[in-house]
Structure 1
């Protein structure tokens, strides 16, 4: 062997270096093909992946790795011609190992040209993606079967994947959403707030509801809005961190909640009606437990009725209240004080012996509130109060007319 002149490179040495580099690639099989698809180079990874030793495939057609159906259909020849015409091609296809086992391969096929531009061969790079494809297929299956709209967003807040429930809920085709910012699904007036929410999640990614305590809205393709509930979770992938948003339309639930609230309010009004039993005399029969919410409604209803009727006496009948404790007594006292500020005298009726003993035992002081045992006695007292007020008013009027001091 002659030594090349100093400054010149040995082509054979360069080739050996190149082959050594190719053999160092362990995750992808690299194969050199002649212009007709015959194998001229076979890396160690190709041997490990297919089970074929280099000596078994050199000089043979690369279709040895194709399925019988693909060989019959001349698929390899079509692939080579496509790469010859269009340049580098990337695709997936089924291949066969020496033992007959099939595997899904991701393939890159690149033509090699001489100085004149003629194709002198091809470089084929492929890897087994069967497992990743199976996992991806399973993931997509789970995504499609999810009951909620699922939107997967990248770190740049652009949509990378949606399921069919998203299409049905928002009215967009998938192709219309891919690559667009997630705010396309949010009403414009909420964009600023939403950007803050999603940036906050990206800075601290963990499974949690979005905008906890807030009423969130989505926007369909036609511009209509609807209430939504959103759960966010991070998804770590080979391409980086993604965000999975599960979006649920809660229109029906919100309507049900509002209907229940209205029914509750109606029941509260029915359970604490304010009745005008006489001119300028109101009666408020209280039945059941008196909590803070109900006491507030009771006070509001009584004051509104006093303003409407100019009532001077209000009878609070507690015969239907099972127990009187400090909290209930405080609620009643506040109601009496509020009525007093409007010039109305309050009378409590229905005070049973056990109720009176309980109030004394608890040390409950109802102030100067007048009370009677029965509603009938309370009505008689109410009439007396009216008569007394009428007499006092008449005396005061005569004194004013005569100039006498009151």
Structure 2
């Protein structure tokens, strides 16, 4: 019988907690605005920090009213999940780990609990203890929500940075009218090969290029997979109306290609980038000659 009564009390305590959060919204927000979690994110204006705190308190009140104190997917959290995600991402970018951010969220409990206990004639009595326990549970769930958004924001940041690095590592350079080049440096994997192809095809369209040079001088090794990526890039460029020239095939790479039995016979190859450029210019009827250095005597 006692167990049933305790079970029936849970929704009542949750509703009471929700009422407290609604009534003491301003006071809680004012105290939270001075905690590290909000103070270090909203550095320009304290009023902005207070408004952010109010939004979180409102969300917690909605969750408490619903009685789903331990549910990270409770509707109330949805209203502030994006904001919490931005805050968590800001702390992560500042060098804080997920556990450190979670610790900052945990520090929200003490000022809120102090206000909650002051609502009761007997702060150490059972009703006050039950509400304080419910508040602790609710803020524990908030901490889980923040940790989830921190991890998610971190993964998204890493993905964006990876994409940016791929794009920076595969620049397309206009060498001459109708001639573009991609100097490749480092390992050429599937993800990077896709970026190379996309950037090259866009450059072919934008520059109306008739010749595209793939310089692999900086590629340490070439295996069958890398060769396939090169062949696909050459084929895609041809479909766009541009001829591809592969330059920078070093002796060791040439031997590897032969040993692997890879046929590059349909692809124009040159020893270096300068040779490839000279070939592309010659195909357009532009002659390249070596001028003697200034002051050098000719015989």
| TM-score, structure 2 normalization | 0.53
Is the CA contact (8 Å cut-off) linking 1:313 and 1:386 kept in structure 2?
no
**Structure 1 position 380, deviation (Å):** 0.7
Aligned partner of 1:323 in structure 2 is: 221
**Structure 1 position 185, deviation (Å):** 2.0
Aligned partner of 1:337 in structure 2 is: 235
- SS state of the match for residue 248, structure 1? helix
**Structure 1 position 175, deviation (Å):** 6.0
Q: For each residue in 1:189-218, what CA deviation from the matched residue of structure 2 results, as whole angstroms up to 9, or x when unmatched? A: xxxxxxxxxxxxxxxxxxxxxxxxxxxxx4
Aligned partner of 2:60 in structure 1 is: 171
- SS state of the match for residue 290, structure 1? coil
Determine if the alignment matches structure 1 residue 248 to structure 2 residue 145: yes
The structure whose residues are more often strand, as a share, is 1
Q: 1:365 to 1:160 in 2, by over 3 A?
A: farther
Aligned partner of 1:357 in structure 2 is: 255
Q: For each residue in 1:8-60, what CA deviation from the matched residue of structure 2 results, as whole angstroms up to 9, or x when unmatched? A: xxxxxxxxxxxxxxxxxxxxxxxxxxxxxxxxxxxxxxxxxxxxxxxxxxxxx
Q: 1:161 to 1:273 in 2, by over 3 A?
A: farther
Is the CA contact (8 Å cut-off) linking 1:348 and 1:378 kept in structure 2?
yes
Aligned partner of 1:96 in structure 2 is: none
CA RMSD, Structure 1 to Structure 2 (Å): 4.0
2:281 to 376, 383, 402: 383
**Structure 1 position 255, deviation (Å):** 2.6
Higher relative contact order (CA 8 A, sep 6+): 2
| Aligned equivalents of 1:301, 1:366: Cα separation in 2 | 22
Q: For each residue in 1:157-185, what CA deviation from the matched residue of structure 2 results, as whole angstroms up to 9, or x when unmatched? A: x97987x9xx87742178623389x7992
**Structure 1 position 344, deviation (Å):** 0.4
**Structure 1 position 338, deviation (Å):** 0.2
- SS state of the match for residue 286, structure 1? strand
| TM-score, structure 1 normalization | 0.40
- SS state of the match for residue 332, structure 1? helix
| Aligned equivalents of 1:178, 1:326: Cα separation in 2 | 59
| Aligned equivalents of 2:68, 2:162: Cα separation in 1 | 47
Is the CA contact (8 Å cut-off) linking 1:284 and 1:317 kept in structure 2?
yes
Query: 5 Å matches for 1:175-214?
Result: 176-178=65-67, 185-186=74-75
- SS state of the match for residue 283, structure 1? strand
| Aligned equivalents of 1:303, 1:335: Cα separation in 2 | 9
- SS state of the match for residue 339, structure 1? helix
1:314 to 194, 208, 212: 212
Is the CA contact (8 Å cut-off) linking 2:247 and 2:272 kept in structure 1?
yes
| Aligned equivalents of 2:276, 2:282: Cα separation in 1 | 10
**Structure 1 position 349, deviation (Å):** 0.5
| Aligned equivalents of 2:186, 2:232: Cα separation in 1 | 18
| Aligned equivalents of 1:356, 1:183: Cα separation in 2 | 57
Determine if the alignment matches structure 1 residue 277 to structure 2 residue 137: no
Aligned partner of 2:103 in structure 1 is: none
**Structure 1 position 365, deviation (Å):** 1.1
| Aligned equivalents of 1:225, 1:385: Cα separation in 2 | 59
Query: 5 Å matches for 1:48-127?
Result: none
| Aligned equivalents of 1:386, 1:224: Cα separation in 2 | 61
- SS state of the match for residue 61, structure 2? coil
Q: 1:286 to 1:174 in 2, by over 3 A?
A: closer
